[in-house]
Structure 1
Amino acid sequence: MNYVEPIRDTNVLEDILTYLKKDSMRNYIMFTIGIYTGLRISDILKLQVKHVRNLKEIRLREQKTNKLKIITINKILKEELKVYISNKEDYEYLIASNRKGNKPISRQRAYVIVKNVCNKFGVENIGTHTMRKTFGYHYYKMTKDTALLQNIFNHADASTTLRYIGINQDSISDAYKSMKYF
């Protein structure tokens, strides 16, 4: 299994979002939900319009942990969702398949979408967790609040969280780059 990294460069992240918004609103919303909530792809795919329409928060039971998760919807995400769902019914999936009727896309399809767009912009070591890790990485860079991220991600300890979002690797890389003897 390959190690999945966050998207560290905010310029590249902005380019990806701009591209997705023009190319496919569904894919744009999937990616936007991922980077603004830090949810796993399995939880994003089960969201329906009724889970976000006119609401301040997303409430769901995480598929992996079976824990209740309450996520306040960021105002940027809220505006994007409002436009996206304006002509949709409450029972529709946010990330609906074009071929399966009222069913979400598969995790494999989500991976292909993320992989293709990241490849287009030269981002390597990606997967569906890239969106979740991007959320964590940038939140950490803004706040340095490891304890809160640990709680958001349901990690047992802070070192797991830092390793997960790629901060440890950044520090290791910086150590190698800074080494000099004379």
Structure 2
Amino acid sequence: MKSVGAIKEKWQISKMKEYLEEHSARDYCLFLLGINTGIKLQELMHLRVHEVNGADGEITEILSLPQYHSPPVYLNRTIRNILKKYINENSLIDTDYLFKSRKTGEPITRQQAYRIINAAAKEAGIEEAVGMTTLRKTFGYHAYIQGIAISLIQKRLHHASPSETIHFIGIDSHLEKIKLNVDL
């Protein structure tokens, strides 16, 4: 099995998003949730509509998943809007899997998710090996670069130590410089 890394270049992420948005709203949402939340693929694929829908019919800002309570999984406005549009346009009901197979109604398989992400990566010109763990690594890498404390990223990724997280997201402490820019 090949080792995969984070997608570090934002322009490559943008290219993947463009490709996925043109090809499939489901696949686009899968990618967005993966890179913006750090949720494990197995848990992501088994999300049901009622887990992202609030009581008021709006997409919830905080996912209430027991394994992700500290820190909680935040869905930003962009993701909430895209999820709402996807759910409405596909007439998904609360008991549906969010990322269901078009053939079976069950969640897409790990292999299908892999094919989706690899096709988008290839289209974006990414030559490095890409896999489903790439989404979590990308989340962790960009959270770290944006100044999120490694301890919070460690908790989200369920790692035992900060050094494990640093290694997982591909940070070379001598090369990556964080800018603590407080621009009041």
Give the whole-Å Cα distance in 1 for the aligned partners of 2:170 and 2:51: 31
Unaligned runs of 5+ residues in structure 1 are: 62-66, 175-182
Contact 2:15 2:123 in 1 (8 A): no
Return the alpha-carbon distance in structure 2 between the equivalents of residues 166 and 144 of structure 1. 15
Query: Distance between the aligned counterparts of 2:68 and 2:38, measured in 1?
Result: 14
Pair 1:60-2:59 in alignment: no
Task: Give the aligned partner of residue 112 of structure 2.
Answer: 109
Counterpart contact for 2:35–2:135, Cα < 8 Å: yes
1:144 positional shift? 5.2
Structure 2 Cα separation of the partners of residues 19 and 83 of structure 1: 18
Q: Match for 1:166: what amino acid?
A: G
Question: Which protein is richer in helix relative to its size?
Answer: 1
**Selected match of 2:122 from 105, 113, 119:** 119
The alignment's TM-score, normalised by the length of structure 1, stands at 0.85
Unaligned runs of 5+ in 2: 176-184
1:6 maps to amino acid? A
Taking a change above 3 Å as real, the CA distance of residues 99 and 22 of structure 1, as seen in their structure-2 partners, is same
Give the TM-score, by structure 2 length: 0.84
* Per-residue Cα deviation, 1:106-140 (whole angstroms, up to 9, x for no partner): 01111111112112222212100111111111110
- Choose which of 75, 82, 85 in structure 2 pairs with 1:83: 85
Other-structure match for 2:73 = 71
Q: 1:68 to 1:8 in 2, by over 3 A?
A: closer
| Residues 44-59 of structure 1 aligned to structure 2 (within 5 Å) | 44-53=44-53, 54=58, 55-59=60-64
Q: How many residues align?
A: 166
Judge conservation of contact 2:6–2:138 (CA < 8 Å) in 1. yes
Percent identity reads: 33
- Distance in 1 between residues matched to 2:155 and 2:65, nearest whole Å: 16
- Distance, in Å, in 2 between the alignment partners of 1:7 and 1:68 is 23
Partner secondary structure for residue 146 of structure 2:
helix
Match in the other structure for 1:138:
142
Asked if structure 1 preserves the Cα contact closer than 8 Å seen for 2:137 and 2:168, the reply is yes
Secondary structure in 2 matching 1:29? helix
Deviation, 1:56, is 2.3
Q: Give the residue type in structure 2 aligned to 1:77.
A: I
Deviation at 1:150, TM superposition (A): 1.0
Match of 1:156 among 154, 160, 183: 160
4+ long deviations beyond 3 Å: 67-70
Displacement of 1:60 in angstroms is 2.2
1:27 match: secondary structure: helix
CA-atom RMSD in angstroms: 1.7
